[in-house]
Amino acid sequence: MATILKRERLVPNIHLLQVHAPEISRKCKPGQFVIIMPDERGERIPLTIADWDREKGSITTVVLVVGTSTHKLSLLKEGDEVPVFVGPLGKPSEIEKYGTVVCAGGCFGIGALYPIARALKKAGNRIITLLDVKANYLMYWEERLREVSDKFFVSARDSYYNCKDFMPYVLQDIIKEEKRVDRVISIGCTYLMSACSEATRPHGVKTLVSLNPIMVDGTGMCGACRVTVGGKTKFACVDGPEFDGHLVDWEELFARRKSYFEDEIQSLCYWEKINFP
């Protein structure tokens, strides 16, 4: 059982969840994730670690509310307990001095990018951060990310940020503007990551993505999270979650993420009927 230290809404449908997990916070590195189960009947789902406090013994994650499991997480209060909070899982991000790195993220990816951008900055890289939000009121952690960035861009669908364009186009412009971009890290929904990878492909810039397939155990035991990278089957939970975006079979990942589409709707309706009669 793990105790919830804090749960607060950052922006509509995105919540911050802070959990007491000293064993995980002792060991975790940027890019790793945890598996959480909201209650005894819940699913086991992966959440990227967005921050940690090694002294306090806490792990912070950012949750996008979509179906039953994430709805349950969004209703947790300080002092509640969850039956599963296990980690740190996955291979940590590769953190070295590469030169200029673009960190491109959207929705829950903004939180997931933060520890990676912070570590890359510390390793001596020049960080260009590009965040994608559908509207200005969906932006969160802007200050945190600005602090670890040398340049900061936002692509949005309203005119608040002076940039009304879809992220991959902005990314292409940045690559053209900069004399040289050594690496791109893209974290967000599947479509965003695949579009960013396509945007960087003609420029030959190495692009890493943090894949988000469905998971069950998270330790390499079941193969639910299998993805095809470079023609070979890999398990995202132990071989990833980061992979070369130019080698990922995106079509297969899209299809596999839709495996339980109808069940997810049925589950949410069932849960809502019981909890909000």
Partner 1 sequence: MTEKKELSPEVKEYLRKEFSQEWRKKLRKSLSVKERMKISRQKMPEREPEERNKDFNEVNLGLNEKLAKREARRCLDCANPQCVLGCPVGIDIPTFIKLIEIGDFLQSVKKMKETNSRPAICGRVCPQEIQCEDVCTMKKATGVPVAIGNLERFVSDCERINGEVFIPQIPPSTGYKVAVIGAGPAGLTVAGELARKGHKVTIFEALHVAGGVLIYGIPEFRLPKDILQSEVEYLKKLGAELKINFIVGLTATIEDLKNDGYDVFFVGTGAGLPNWMRIPGENLVGVYSANEYLTRVNLMKAYAFPEYDTPVYLGRRAAVIGGGNVAMDSVRIAQRLGAEQATIVYRRSRVEMPARTEEVKHAEEEGIEFHFLTAPIRYIGDEKGQVKAMECIRMELGEPDSSGRRRPIPIEGSEFTMEVDLVVVAIGQSPNPLIPKTTPQLKVGKWGNVEVDWDTMATNMEGVYAGGDIIRGGATVILAMGDARIAAAEIDKYLNNKKVRRKKK
| Short-list 91, 92, 86, CA closest to 217 | 86
Which residues, listed in sequence order, are joined to residue 247 by a DSSP beta bridge? none
The 103-142 site mask, x for binding partner 1 (CB under 8 A), equals ----------------------------------------
Question: Shortest Cβ distance from residue 249 to partner 1 (Å)?
Answer: 8
Stretch that binds partner 1, among 116-124, 153-161, 192-200, 218-226 (CB under 8 A): 218-226
Determine, following the binding rule CB under 8 A, whether residue 222 of this chain makes contact with partner 1: yes
Question: Shortest Cβ distance from residue 145 to partner 1 (Å)?
Answer: 28
Determine, following the binding rule CB under 8 A, whether residue 275 of this chain makes contact with partner 1: no
Tell me the two tokens of residue 192: 């965003």
Closest to partner 1 by CB, 204 or 231 = 231
Stretch that binds partner 1, among 117-125, 150-158, 182-190, 263-271 (CB under 8 A): 263-271
Closest to partner 1 by CB, 244 or 266 = 266
Phi-psi region of 176 (alpha: psi -120 to 50; beta: other; left: phi over 0): alpha
Size of the site for partner 1 (CB under 8 A): 44
* Integer Cα distance of 271 and 81 in angstroms: 19
Q: What is the 3-state secondary structure (H, E, C) of 182-214?
A: CEEEEECCHHHHHHHHHHHHHHCCEEEEECCCC
Q: Could you tell me the maximum CA-CA distance found in the chain, to the nearest angstrom?
A: 58
Among 75, 123, 135, 255, binds partner 1 (CB under 8 A): 255
* Integer Cα distance of 221 and 25 in angstroms: 24
Determine, following the binding rule CB under 8 A, whether residue 75 of this chain makes contact with partner 1: no
Determine, following the binding rule CB under 8 A, whether residue 80 of this chain makes contact with partner 1: no
Contact 136, 158 (CB under 8 A): yes
* Integer Cα distance of 232 and 243 in angstroms: 12
Among 49, 84, 170, 209, binds partner 1 (CB under 8 A): 84
Among 233, 244, 272, 275, binds partner 1 (CB under 8 A): 233
Determine, following the binding rule CB under 8 A, whether residue 54 of this chain makes contact with partner 1: no
Degrees, nearest 5: CA angle 61-219-186: 45
Closest to partner 1 by CB, 124 or 220 = 220
CA atoms within 13 A on the CB side of 65: 18
* Integer Cα distance of 71 and 30 in angstroms: 26
Among 24, 95, 174, 229, binds partner 1 (CB under 8 A): 24
Q: At what angle do helices 190-200 and 250-257 cross, to 10 degrees?
A: 170
Residues of this chain that interact with partner 1 (CB under 8 A) are 2, 23-24, 27, 37, 41-44, 68-69, 83-89, 216-217, 219-224, 226, 228, 233, 238, 251-252, 254-256, 258-260, 263-264, 266-267, 270-271
